[in-house]
Structures are given as structure tokens and as C-alpha cells.
A and B are shown apart, each in its own frame.
Chain A
Amino acid sequence: MKALEISGLKKTYDNGHVALNGVDLTVDKGDFFALLGPNGAGKSTTIGIISSLVNASEGAVKIHGHDLTTERNQCKLLIGLVPQEFNFNVFESPVNILVTQAGYYGIPGSVAEERAERYLKLLELWDKKDRPAREMSGGMKRRLMIARALVHQPAVLILDEPTAGVDIEIRRSMWTFLEDINKEGTTIILTTHYLEEAETLCRNVAIIDDGKIIEQGEVAELLSRSQYQSFVFDLKAPVDKAPALDGFKVTRCEGNRLDVEMPLGDSLNTLFELLGRQGIEVVSMRNKTNRLEEFFLRLVGDDENDSEEEAN
């Protein structure tokens, strides 16, 4: 039995926009799964349908073998949701937010309070427990939503961009936390725009674009299919134009910076040799993107590629 099985899922919003156009997806129990895709690809819509916030137009969703339309309550009990946008009452305190959410799943007061304490402590929010949630920082609010999603101890935890706007230190501690609960048996499905995050955490990924899954598989296997890698070279002296190097695609970013794309597995020694022959001295180098990012960008097209370059 799978944790999640989606078949032929379609969604057309009331304004006529087709957000999902036949999504098929399976996630194994215990998996750590990433759903990747550019802005507007349909990730949140898919998650909205799974978590009963959005009505599907067509298709079927099963959670642990339960059909979402005919056994909705069983499905709801199995899922914990961390949505993309903050959606708690900002005037309430974290403790009340968690105890209330627990109550909605039938967990009575005393147990709910223990759970609230446990998860607020785990997510390092215990010292804020009685203050109104609006006083918390963005990163704290994200963690509050993770704690809230866990109070009923769901079998499947779905996180829609849980680390957006979270600083690097806290992001790493969130990763460790998620890895821990995954080891304890919780299936995790997350979306993220940090591909490094997906590469570090996830075993399986699916890439969605324009409402369709365009690639799905094991992270390791997808990476082995990735055929190129690129580097950024900083040069000792500026060059006027990109040097022509046989077998490498070189572009000049700035006077003293080159972008080099090369087939995975080719020797870097050859590259340095060719550069040396043209009198170009490299003072430092780094990977332009991580490998999953490289793969992703090739798949979803050039638009994103451009914006990524600007971000670099």
C-alpha cells in the first residue's frame, strides 16, 4: 500500500485557469519526497486537493489506500499540513493554536496540552508559548505551523515550502528535525524552491510544470542522468571575450568571470590545460548550481535559468 496515490488529477479554477492537467503521482510509505516545480506549476493546488482545501475537478486521490472522496475523514486523520501561507489566528497564542487544532482531531484537553508542550519544545517555541502569534518572526511562524501539523501525529506530513524565508541555521535544524520524524516512520512530502534542500533530504522527487508531472524518480537516479555540470571561474586578469575551448561551453559573465559548462565525467585537467595555453589564469572556482538544480533547470526551461543566474 502506498502513502499517497494520485491519478488523473485535474483542477480548473472558477476563473477558468487550468492549474492541474492530469497529475499522476505515487509516494511510498516512509518516503521523504519532494514535489518540485517553478512558481505557478500547481504544487500548492495539488496539496490543497490532498488536504481537502481545494475541490478537484477530476481524478482520484488515495491516502494509505483510503479514497479521498468516499473516506474523507480517514484521509484527513492521516494527513498533517503545513501550508505555504500563514493561516493561524495571529491573535492566539501558540499553545492555544496547538490545543485547538488537536481538539479538531478529537484529542481532549489534557492530552492536547501535553502534545502542544512536546511539539512547541521540539520546535524551540516554548518560550513564546503564551504570547500572541503575531509577535513571532517569520521563521518562528513557519515552525509554529510545523508543530501544529504534528499535534495529531499524522502518518503523512505535507509541507508546502516550509523553509521559505527561514535563516540558514534554523533551516538546517528544521532539516534535522524532519529527518528525525521521517526516521520514526512519518512519510514526508515537501515542496521547496531550494533544490539543495531536496537533494539533501529527499529520496524521491517529482517535478511538476504547467500542471503536469514531467519527471519522477529517485534523486540519486535522476542525478546520474544529469549529463552536465557548470562552474564559475574567477580570473586573475579580465578577458575581452569568452575563449573558445574545444568540448566546453564558455560564456563571459563579467570581465574576470567565466561560466563553463562541461559534460559530467570529463576531466577538469583538460580544461585547465586549454585555459593555460591561452594565458588565462584561474584564481578560484565554484559549482554554479548544485546538481539537482542543474537537472531541474534543464527540464523546466530557460526562463527560470535566467532568473537563477541573476540570483547568483
Chain B
Amino acid sequence: MQSIAAINVVAFKTIVTKEIRRFMRIWVQTIVPPAVSALLYMMIFGTLIGSRVGEMDGHRYIDFIVPGIIMMAVITNSYSNSVSSFFGAKFQHHLEELLIAPVHNVVILAGFVAGGVCRGLIVGALVAAVSLFFTRLSVENPLTTVLVVVLTSTLFSIAGVINSVFAKGFDDISIIPNFVLTPLTYLGGIFYSVKLLPDFWQGLSYINPVLYMINGFRFGILGSSDISIGWSFVVILSFIVILASVALYLLNKGVGIKS
């Protein structure tokens, strides 16, 4: 008979396949809108306003904001993929298909997270492709760029799962994205260098984790940023460890999914 470990390997692939099929089936809702809004950001802020802004941190303004715009798309899409998929599974009760099977909670979490990462990466790549209409997008440190984007996407996918574990209705899955995620992303230095801010606001910005991700990514692409790349990795990895532990604790306890 197959070992439980072997079963879980197949189960993991199955969850990921199902997750990708889910967001590809509704690609008009999941893949296209972020590309459209990124296009608008680049047109309006990059080209129209950017030409008046001049340089930011030694780069053309459009070059400066492109990494942030890509990252914003990655963050929101990773998050909303796992939040809507996991909540949908809970709401429609087909999460039970997983709960009755010999699938480990680590695999359930990893499967949903991998789905979120896939969507985050696909959308990120699409936004990067759109940016080529506006800039050359040469990547200074390819390995750093890829690592930062994959880890950030992982982090927000896990956060999405946690949100949906607690969510009781559809309102609950839009509160965090609208009132926490969006402000943190906009204030995370997409459109400006935090060095421009007065001391107090600069200090405050350093407790925003999103700042470390956007700057890590910007370092990967432009080769310079407000924050040292080492700190970026420390912050991202710490958050991943903390959130993954919380998510597993909740799944093991059956919070919101078992009575």
C-alpha cells in the first residue's frame, strides 16, 4: 500500500492543479484587471506626471515606480487568490473533500499557498510585460528579484488563508484587503522614496513590512533601494515563519472549519 507521504505528494499536486484551474477558469476576473490597472498607473503616474517629477532616488520616475507597481499586483493577487479560494471552499463546503481525505494540514496550506503564488507570479509577469511599453526594465540582480517576489507572494498567500479561516461572510474577506493591505502597499514606497519623508513619517514607514518587500524587489531590478537587501529578507522570512505557524495552528485546531 502507498505510504501516507506518497499520498500527500499526489494530494499536493492535485490541490495546486485545482487552484490553477480555478483562477484560469475566471481569468477575466483574476488575471486581466491587475494588468489594466497597472497600465493606467504607468500611463498616468509614469508618463504624464512622471515627466514633471523628474528623477527619484537617481532613477527616471517611471523606472522607479515600475518595481512597486509589479509588486503591488503580486501582493494583492496572491492574497486575494488564497482568500477567495479558501473561503469559497469553506462557504460551498467542498473543503470537506480535503478534510475527509488523509491529507496533512501542511499540505493543505502549502497547496493553497502555491496556488496563490502561481497567480501572483503570472500577474506579476504580465504587469512586467506591460511595463515594457514604458521602460526597458533591465534586471540588475535576477536571483534577488525572483527570490523576493516568490517569498512575498508566499507570505501574502498565507495571510489570505488566515483571513479566510476567520471569515464568516463575504464582508470579512474584503475588510483586510481594503483597510489594511491597500494602505500598507500604497504607503510602502511604491510611488516615492521614503527618504523624501520627514523624520517621523520615515520612522513610521520602517515598521511597515511591505516597505521591505517593495524595496527588496526594487533593489533586485534597479540595484539600489531605501533598505538593505539583507533586512528585506530577514523581515519577509520572519513574517513567513510567523504567519505559517499561525495558519497551521488554526488548521490543526479546526478553527472555522470543523465543529
Judged by a CB distance under 8 angstroms, whether B21 is at the interface is yes
Judged by a CB distance under 8 angstroms, whether A187 is at the interface is no
Given A89-B92, A89-B94, A103-B14: A51 touches B100 (CB 8 Å cut-off): yes
How far, in angstroms, from A168 to B201 measured CA to CA in the complex?
72
Residue of A53, A79, A91 touching B96 (CB-CB under 8 A)? A53
How far, in angstroms, from A13 to B259 measured CA to CA in the complex?
7
Judged by a CB distance under 8 angstroms, whether B7 is at the interface is yes
User: Are A103 and B94 closer than 8 Å at their CB atoms?
Assistant: no
Taking the closest CB of chain B, its distance from the CB of A11, in whole angstroms, is 9
Residue of A nearest to B258 (CB): A55
Judged by a CB distance under 8 angstroms, whether B59 is at the interface is no
Which residues on the B side are within 8 Å of A52 (C-beta)?
Answer: 99-100
User: Are A108 and B10 closer than 8 Å at their CB atoms?
Assistant: yes
How far, in angstroms, from A83 to B93 measured CA to CA in the complex?
11
Given A88-B94, A89-B92, A100-B14: A105 touches B259 (CB 8 Å cut-off): no
Taking the closest CB of chain A, its distance from the CB of B258, in whole angstroms, is 6
How far, in angstroms, from A76 to B103 measured CA to CA in the complex?
9
Residue of A73, A83, A87 touching B92 (CB-CB under 8 A)? A87
Which residues on the A side are within 8 Å of B100 (C-beta)?
Answer: 51-53, 76, 79, 81
Judged by a CB distance under 8 angstroms, whether B11 is at the interface is yes
Judged by a CB distance under 8 angstroms, whether B168 is at the interface is no
Given A55-B259, A73-B102: A104 touches B96 (CB 8 Å cut-off): no
Residue of B11, B21, B25, B258 touching A53 (CB-CB under 8 A)? B258
Taking the closest CB of chain B, its distance from the CB of A76, in whole angstroms, is 4
User: Are A54 and B101 closer than 8 Å at their CB atoms?
Assistant: no
Residue of A nearest to B5 (CB): A106
Judged by a CB distance under 8 angstroms, whether A77 is at the interface is yes
User: Are A101 and B102 closer than 8 Å at their CB atoms?
Assistant: no
Q: Which interface residue of B18, B93, B98, B100 has the most chain A CB atoms within 10 A?
A: B100
User: Are B10 and A100 closer than 8 Å at their CB atoms?
Assistant: no
Which residues on the B side are within 8 Å of A105 (C-beta)?
Answer: 7, 11, 101-102
Residue of A nearest to B1 (CB): A77
How far, in angstroms, from A83 to B25 measured CA to CA in the complex?
27
How far, in angstroms, from A223 to B259 measured CA to CA in the complex?
37
Residue of B nearest to A158 (CB): B100
Which residues on the B side are within 8 Å of A53 (C-beta)?
Answer: 96, 99-100, 258
Taking the closest CB of chain B, its distance from the CB of A197, in whole angstroms, is 24
Which residues on the A side are within 8 Å of B13 (C-beta)?
Answer: 103
How far, in angstroms, from A81 to B99 measured CA to CA in the complex?
11
Residue of B18, B103, B258 touching A54 (CB-CB under 8 A)? B258
Residue of A88, A104, A107 touching B103 (CB-CB under 8 A)? A104
List residues of A (59-90) whose CB comes within 8 Å of B's CBs.
72-73, 76-77, 79, 81, 83, 85-90
- Mark A residues whose CB is within 8 Å of B: 13-14, 48, 51-55, 72-73, 76-77, 79, 81, 83, 85-91, 96, 99-101, 103-108, 148
In the complex, 25 of the A-B residue pairs with CB atoms within 8 angstroms, ordered by the A residue number, are A14-B259, A52-B99, A52-B100, A55-B258, A73-B102, A81-B100, A83-B96, A85-B93, A86-B93, A87-B94, A87-B97, A88-B92, A89-B89, A90-B92, A100-B14, A103-B10, A103-B15, A104-B15, A104-B102, A104-B103, A105-B7, A105-B102, A106-B9, A106-B11, A106-B102
Give me the 4 closest cross-chain CB pairs, A-B, nearest first. Answer: A103-B14, A106-B7, A104-B101, A87-B93
Identify 8 new A-B residue pairs, CB closer than 8 A, beyond the known A103-B11, A148-B97.
Answer: A14-B259, A88-B94, A96-B21, A100-B97, A103-B17, A105-B11, A106-B6, A106-B9
